[in-house]
Amino acid sequence: TYHISGEDVDITTEAFLITFANASQWGYNANIAPKASLQDGLLDIAIVNKFPLSAAPKLALSLFTQNIDENSYMNTIRAKEVTLQRKQAGPMHIDGDPVEMPAELNIKIVEDGLKVLVKKRF
């Protein structure tokens, strides 16, 4: 069970999976948040609700056909900043790497937070 709260967001849900995305895909063309944009300054919070095993093939296929957001087991919320609360600390993935995280997390977009230096070309 998870509680997600923030400006204009206050939900409690028993989710199978929650992803905080600022881009549309996990990788390998798996689009968990098809409408996410690196330019809009918002997180797409993709919530996959618990589902019966019989729904798994359609959900998996929709990841690769860029329409998982149309699935009835999927809910997407957009926000600049939210707090995620769960019953206890435990494992999560950050960009595919497993990590231990606390029971309460504050997740936010840091606009212009990444500076990239490139060699000037003439």
The band of 116, judged by pLDDT with boundaries at 50, 70 and 90, is confident
The DSSP code sequence of the chain is: -EEEEETTEEEEE-EEEEEEESSSEEETTEESSTT--SSSS-EEEEEEE---GGGHHHHHHHHHTT-GGGSTTEEEEEESEEEEEESS-EEEEETTEEEEE-SEEEEE--TT----------
Q: Which residue has the tokens 């609360």?
A: 85
pLDDT digits (tens, 9 = 90+) for 17-36: 999 998 888 878 888 998 99
pTM of the predicted model as reported, rounded to 2 decimal places: 0.85
